[in-house]
Amino acid sequence: MSGKPDMRVSLGGLELKNPVIAASGTFGYGREYSPFFDPARLGGLVVKGISLKPREGNPPPRIAETAGGMLNAIGLANLGVEAFIAEKLPWLARQDTAVVVNLYAESVDEFGELAGRLAGLDGVAALELNVSCPNVKAGGMAFGCDPGPVGQVTQAAVEAAGDTPVWVKLTPNVADPVPVALAAAQAGARAVCLINTLLGMAIDARTRKPVLANVFGGLSGPAIKPVGLRMVWQVRGTLAAQHPGVDLVGMGGIASGVDAAEYMLAGATAVQVGTASFSRPDACLMIAQELGQFCAEESVARVSDLTGGLNT
Ligand SMILES: Cc1cc2nc3c(=O)[nH]c(=O)nc-3n(C[C@H](O)[C@H](O)[C@H](O)COP(=O)(O)O)c2cc1C
């Protein structure tokens, strides 16, 4: 192949310069990583989950290392939407990359309110709904486990967001992700992102205590890659047949360019990188570069040609 591969992708209403995006909750508000590399070299970045009011999160310990990954029970600590807009968004708006705001809410109305507050603001390229949070009005069960509430939340956000694309990020803590993904697509999501963390726990046998103060936490990192690949592949067939305009964003355990290529072959248009940024802060950049090298080695002229290219 002559020349460099074309790394641009069209994703969920956005044009990205490459398919690698920093994942929510692992990249702060973006600026924290700017000493390590220019965020303009990424396809995009997703900021920490933002809620209407500031949240302290859970008590410590709220992180534990596990074999091939980590557990976290941060509890969605964040500074709240108004402080985010005043203190973080002006810097983000000056970066030459797609800034996606991840939203955390506990009712359908709150999701709509948050989407309406952020949509259209300078620097907000898209909104990503974290539907793994408890639906307080429905007894605390996660919205994301049930297609009905996922459809309602998506519709409320889409209506409030106007021209700003809405992406929906799914939980893997369901038996079958397909009906939930379909509910999001039917309600107007431009992209479906998967996967969030898998529910787990760690025990210290010597003290006979749970390691995390919250007892349960979300498992992320290389250990979950096979689950993420399976879910992207599972969702892709039905979405492609019924909602071909809705893109998939794959994540879970990506730590190399080849990992990213695997997610794209399974059906993702782009990928997000989370836990890998904790082992090395320039992981996203390294993965984007390695993905380019992979394309060059495999004579793939356009990285977008990888999407759905799995031979079965
Ligand atoms: C410490 C930590 C905080 C996270 N916070 C959020 C969050 O606020 N919103 C969200 O949608 N996902 C959050 N996630 C999930 C990640 O964005 C990602 O979906 C998950 O970790 C799987 O990718 P990975 O294996 O590359 O980390 C968080 C993950 C970690 C490890």
CB 27 within 8 A of CB 106: no
Tell me whether the omega of the peptide bond preceding residue 61 falls within 30 degrees of 0, making it cis. Answer: yes
Given phi > 0 = left and psi -120 to 50 = alpha, else beta, which region is 180?
alpha
Residue 251 pLDDT more than 80? yes
CB 157 within 8 A of CB 187: no
d(CA 19, CA 261): 10
Residue 71 pLDDT more than 70? yes
- Enzyme catalytic residues: 133
Ligand 1 proximal residues by C-beta, below 6 Å: 23-26, 48-49, 72, 74, 76, 102, 130, 169, 196-197, 220-221, 224, 251-254, 273-276
Task: Specify the pLDDT at position 1.
Answer: 60
Atom 23 in ligand 1: which residue has the minimum CA distance? 252
Task: Specify the pLDDT at position 3.
Answer: 81
User: Residue 281 — very low, low, confident or very high, per pLDDT cuts 50/70/90?
Assistant: very high
User: Residue 143 — very low, low, confident or very high, per pLDDT cuts 50/70/90?
Assistant: confident
Average pLDDT over residues 202-223: 96
Residue 34 pLDDT more than 90? yes
- Ligand 1 mutation pick, 195, 271, 275, max ligand atoms within 8 A of CB: 275
Average pLDDT over residues 207-233: 97
Specify the CATH number for 9-54+77-199+220-306; select among 1.10.10.10, 1.10.1060.10, 3.20.20.70, 3.40.1160.10: 3.20.20.70
**Domain positions in the chain:** 9-54+77-199+220-306
Atom 31 in ligand 1: which residue has the minimum CA distance? 275
Atom 22 in ligand 1: which residue has the minimum CA distance? 252
DSSP string, the chain: --S--B--EEETTEEESSSEEEPTTSSTTSGGGTTTS-GGGSSEEEEEEE-SS-B--PPSP-EEEETTEEEE-----B--HHHIIIIIHHHHHTSSSEEEEEE--SSHHHHHHHHHHHTT-TT--EEEEETTSB-GGGTT-BGGG-HHHHHHHHHHHHHHHTTS-EEEEPPS-SS-SHHHHHHHHHTT-SEEEE--PEEEE-EETTTTEESSTTSEEEEESGGGHHHHHHHHHHHHHHHHHH-TT-EEEEESS--SHHHHHHHHHHT-SEEEE-THHHH-TTHHHHHHHHHHHHHHHTT-SBGGGGTT----
- Ligand 1 mutation pick, 132, 195, 197, max ligand atoms within 8 A of CB: 197
**How far is ligand 1, taken at its centre, from the CA of residue 176, in Å?**
20
CB 166 within 8 A of CB 126: yes
Task: Specify the pLDDT at position 45.
Answer: 98
In ligand 1, the atom with minimum distance to the C-alpha of 278 is 31
In ligand 1, the atom with minimum distance to the C-alpha of 255 is 26
Atom 11 in ligand 1: which residue has the minimum CA distance? 130
Atom 8 in ligand 1: which residue has the minimum CA distance? 49
Average pLDDT over residues 214-239: 96
Question: Is the pTM value of this prediction over 0.95?
Answer: yes
Mean pLDDT, all residues of the chain:
95
- Ligand 1 mutation pick, 153, 196, 256, max ligand atoms within 8 A of CB: 196
